[in-house]
Amino acid sequence: MTKIALVQKAPVFLDTKKSASNAVTHINEAAKQDANIIVFGEGWLSGYPAWIDYSIHMGCWDQKEIKQVWAQMYADAIEIDGPEIQSIKEAAKESAKYVVIGANEAIKKGKGNGSLYNTLLIITPEGEIAVHHRKLMPTFNEKLVHAYGDAFGLKTIQTPYGNIGGLICWEHWMPLTRQAMHDEGEDIHFGLWPAVKSSHKLASRHYAFEGRCYVVAMGQILRKNSIPNFLEMKPELVNNNSEFILDGGSCVIDPNGNFILEPQYGREEIIYIDLPPLHDLYTERMNLSTSGHYQRPDVFTFNVDKRRMTD
């Protein structure tokens, strides 16, 4: 059995140092519960920029409030060789666990400096970054925040629990991106989302069925009072009765698209789930293998440029 720890706990919004410190605490707590793989949500270091959807300032050219919060986000963002990621690598090594975590990543020197990326990292029990994926296509108004990524991180790693890999948010609606990951032979797929809304559940269930893999769809928690005071929110957000902007919804799905763990909304805690044996995946690949006997390489040609575009 493979035990997954879904860390559906809020980061400290726009404070990567405190968020990284909390991440280490959560990793240690999950390790004590014998979790094998510990997963955090999209942009968890240090919070998904939900203000792009809910601030009245969005869409205005040269808007000072938006430039101010972006500058704060850039200054706060991780660098891949920085101390925050180093602390998480050390926690993974000390606990001998795999860690999957989303981050806002900045390039602050050299080629590509001045850009922010929506990043997914998979860290091994040896404390090494095995997957460093930057989201290929920022979704809609995310393009005002994040730069375009590349295919360098479209890969899996072999673990004692099967081949694991991941994608971020609306990458799950990019057919060729899905195919690139199916061709990697995923057994467990980690889908990182801001929160797992209705359409996100649909995409995650489809991915599990199409890839004949387990899917861990990971959402996060963000409260209204975490948004900087200088950003005015839209009335429909201010006036609703919920304390949340992002309310989690994390769930786990089997290779037939059925929930093993139903979506968990409004729960700020570490949620544990044991996956069924990998053999259950193999039984479902008899009738559908999108990277094998259900593919037509004599008809279709597919190539992926996996070079890192900037460093």
Q: In the block, which residue shows the tokens 């400096």?
A: 113
Rounded CA-CA distance 25/234 in Å is: 34
Region for 159 from its dihedrals, namely left if φ exceeds 0, alpha if ψ lies in -120 to 50, beta otherwise: beta
CA 260-118-53 angle, 5° bins: 85
For residues 286 and 251, the answer to whether their CB atoms sit within 8 Å is: no
Q: How many CB atoms lie within 10 A of CB 24?
A: 19
In the three-class reduction of DSSP (H, G, I as helix; E, B as strand; rest coil), residue 209 is classed as: helix
For residues 151 and 174, the answer to whether their CB atoms sit within 8 Å is: no
Q: In the block, which residue shows the tokens 């240690």?
A: 28
In the three-class reduction of DSSP (H, G, I as helix; E, B as strand; rest coil), residue 12 is classed as: coil
Q: In the block, which residue shows the tokens 């057919």?
A: 175
Rounded CA-CA distance 46/273 in Å is: 25
Rounded CA-CA distance 247/50 in Å is: 12
Reply yes or no: is the peptide bond before residue 46 cis, omega within 30 of 0.
yes
Which tokens is 284 given? 């479902």
Strand partners, 69: none
CA 17-164-102 angle, 5° bins: 20
Residues labelled catalytic: 42, 135, 169
